Structure 1
Amino acid sequence: MASEASKRFSLAVKYQRLRQELTIAILIFLSVLLIGTVGYQVIEGWNWLDALYMTTITLGTIGYSETHPLDEKGRIFTIALIFMSIISIGFIVNRFTEAVVQGYFQEVIRLRQQKRLMEFLDRHYIVCGFGRTGRQVTAEFASEDIPFVVLDKEIEQIQQAEQLGYRAVQGDASLDETLQRVAIERAICIVCTLPSDAENLYTVLSAKTLSPNIRAIARASSEEAMKKLRRGGADEVISPYITGGKRMAAAALRPQVMDFVDGIISGANRSYYIEEFLIDSKCPQVGRTLNEARLRSQSGALVLAIRRADGTLLGGPNANTVLLEGDLLICMGTSDQLRQLNQILSPISERQPPPREPKSLPPKD
């Protein structure tokens, strides 16, 4: 952990030092140019244009003849000016060469392009950590064409993410400044897949402080960490070990059920999909029962469950269940059935943006 922090610090210090030294080199050169111009004006009594011209050809080592004949003091000053020019130009060339070799200019261009991309991000997802878990999350997002940005402190991970065509930003996800760089205030959800439970906790706390309404999903390595992350504001906490163990047990005890559910969730089963639909105040079905709304008969989609606004989950709702504002319908059906259900819940006249389509949906006829 300490070595990673020192590595990030040294990288930042290196670019900061290069920028400062390049600035100093340019200032030194301009100072020498100014000293030469003023010196010729004072020593030789030339006008500013002749003094500037003589200084320029001296610094450039062009070898043109003198503008006016020089006396002894002028020649001594010219010799000193030549030495100053050699030192200043040598320093500039040295700093510029190091900047090119170290990739400073490429890094500046990359950061500017990255900043422009961040300005256009809206309603996106933030994936913190590009390890094994983070890679799987981003692969799923990419397959469903979900806008997202990867955040990792390791430059190697960022380079690998960029090679895959992902937006990626290097930085510590637990810092407010880093989260603001990836437009946390406009993001829908943040997924914390960092290797340390402490880092995930700090990131969730920072994210919830900057954007209280953002949905935070975090990875945990133990049950104790899961409890702390929930207390820290995480909306969902997942332990790969606990979840993986449960799925392995379910696959052993109920293999057909697991195949069916996995196929629907992952999109491997192209016949049926599961989607969620939010009932807002403009939905014409608010206040109606499922029987009155006739969602099943009109669309063919099946309402599996309803999550109330207070968090209550109604599994297998019956015909008398009333649809309320803020309800989240969890529905299953074919791609056409889900599209039809979306039209029923959010008619075009209401100008409601449709939910994202399920992965690998065939095009409309």
Structure 2
Amino acid sequence: MAGAVALGCIFFIGTLWYWLVEGWSWEDAAYMTVITLATVGYGETNPLGSRGRLFTIALILMGVVNIGYIVNRFTAAVIEGYFQDGLRLRQQRRVMESLSGHYIICGFSRTGRQIAKEFRAEGVAFVVVDSEIESVQRAQNEGYTIYQGDATLDDTLLKVGIERATCIVAALPSDAENLYTVLSAKTLNPAIRAIARASTEEALQKLQRGGADAVISPYITGGKRMAAAALRPQVLDFVDGILSGADRQLYMEEFLLDPAFCPFVGQTLQKAKLRSQTGALVLAIRRLDGNLIGGPTGDTILMPGDTLMCMGTAEQLRALNQVLGPINSHQVRRPKKV
């Protein structure tokens, strides 16, 4: 911009000189100024004396310097933009390739933003996928790892490491898009846990048939929570306090018992002494066949493939994780301020 303004000023000064000092017409003065600044090598429009030629030399030098400056700035902008885009793509590729055991959020609408906020509070690794440039810019401004693309396409899911991911959350606005995303994810990684958003009960059933491990309807869930807030407000506050939030003191976590590593498989809870060793409380046990045992007693036997649902402080749950051995469980996470 500054170069263009300077070039305009030089053109005005040259035209004014030839018009006032040399006595030429406006047309001849402007033409002489243009061919001088462009250094095209045309002859003089009208004869010039020594003074006029000295001014023309100065005009040529000013024009060459100014045009060189403009070309240099333009070239730098083009080259820097090219390399910055290439560097940004390489950095994004390295980040995506380094992800493992991460979570994928498809869609950065109001639901997706809340999910990302909770994931950040939990300290888990995740990447956001969205095709809208506004959503991508918003996610970048909030410091999230974002990939711009269509989450329903296999290529996009492969770019964000679907084969290495632990869980995918389909929170796109359309039920059809969420269904396509779940189908693609399950095809590319059958072991991945798929969570999907549904707007209607019919979509909920179709997503379940499509392979989604859990389907959440904001309207149904919101209605249940509102009813619970009206009927059992203290219970709801307590459950909310241990499930989400950055300032909570108690947490809930799940642990999958692997007989190859866990030394307590086949023992009773009383004999395992998990509570006395760690302070964490075992709230429930889900058997491998899906049977749920709520409030297990000391005589409950720990079986291979059991999932223990436990509650305690972050330190207690970390201690429980160490006692149970290097099993396939979620890492105990301490929320961060958001």
Which of the five TM-score ranges fits, normalised by the shorter chain?
0.7 to 0.9
User: The residue matched to 1:237 in structure 2 has which SS?
Assistant: strand
How many Å apart are 1:344 and its aligned residue? 1.8
Cα deviation, 1:10-60, whole Å, max 9, x if unaligned, reads xxxxxxxxxxxxxxxxxxxxxxxxxxxxxxxxxxxxxxxxxxxxxxxxxxx
**Alignment of 1:358 onto 2:333:** yes
Cα pair 2:204 2:217 within 8 Å, conserved: yes
Q: Which has the higher contact order (CA 8 A, sep 6+)?
A: 2
State the AA in 2 paired with 1:134.
G
**Alignment of 1:213 onto 2:188:** no
2:98, 2:289 → 1: CA distance? 33
State the AA in 1 paired with 2:241.
G
**Match in the other structure for 1:330:** 309
With over 3 angstroms needed to count, the CA separation of the structure-2 counterparts of 1:298 and 1:268, relative to structure 1, is same
Cα pair 1:267 1:273 within 8 Å, conserved: no
1:259, 1:335 → 2: CA distance? 19
**Alignment of 1:310 onto 2:289:** yes
Cα pair 1:122 1:187 within 8 Å, conserved: yes
How many Å apart are 1:244 and its aligned residue? 0.6
**Match in the other structure for 2:93:** 115
For 1:167, which of 133, 142, 145 is the aligned residue? 145
**Match in the other structure for 1:72:** none
User: The residue matched to 1:140 in structure 2 has which SS?
Assistant: helix
**Alignment of 1:180 onto 2:158:** yes
1:195, 1:283 → 2: CA distance? 42
Instruction: Give structure 1 stretches of 5+ with no counterpart.
Output: 1-60, 64-92
How many Å apart are 1:104 and its aligned residue? 5.7
With over 3 angstroms needed to count, the CA separation of the structure-2 counterparts of 1:325 and 1:62, relative to structure 1, is farther
For 1:294, which of 266, 273, 278 is the aligned residue? 273
Q: CA RMSD in A?
A: 2.5
**Alignment of 1:194 onto 2:194:** no
- Of 253-262 and 313-322, more deviation after overlay is shown by 313-322
State the AA in 2 paired with 1:168.
I
User: The residue matched to 2:293 in structure 1 has which SS?
Assistant: strand
Cα pair 2:154 2:184 within 8 Å, conserved: yes
How many Å apart are 1:193 and its aligned residue? 0.3
For 1:240, which of 208, 218, 242 is the aligned residue? 218
**Match in the other structure for 1:276:** 254
Aligned length in residues: 265
Cα deviation, 1:92-144, whole Å, max 9, x if unaligned, reads x9xx98x949x665433322221111111111110000000000111111122
1:140, 1:324 → 2: CA distance? 32
**Match in the other structure for 2:109:** 131
With over 3 angstroms needed to count, the CA separation of the structure-2 counterparts of 1:62 and 1:307, relative to structure 1, is farther
1:154, 1:104 → 2: CA distance? 22
Which structure has the greater CA radius of gyration? 2
**Match in the other structure for 2:229:** 251
State the AA in 1 paired with 2:286.
R
Cα pair 1:197 1:221 within 8 Å, conserved: yes
2:133, 2:84 → 1: CA distance? 14
State the AA in 2 paired with 1:160.
R
With over 3 angstroms needed to count, the CA separation of the structure-2 counterparts of 1:353 and 1:278, relative to structure 1, is closer
User: The residue matched to 1:207 in structure 2 has which SS?
Assistant: helix
Cα pair 2:179 2:207 within 8 Å, conserved: yes
- Of 127-136 and 154-163, more deviation after overlay is shown by 154-163
1:342, 1:310 → 2: CA distance? 23
1:152, 1:269 → 2: CA distance? 30
How many Å apart are 1:170 and its aligned residue? 0.8
2:328, 2:210 → 1: CA distance? 32
State the AA in 2 paired with 1:129.
G
How many Å apart are 1:311 and its aligned residue? 2.0
Cα pair 1:217 1:237 within 8 Å, conserved: yes
State the AA in 2 paired with 1:221.
S
2:276, 2:184 → 1: CA distance? 46
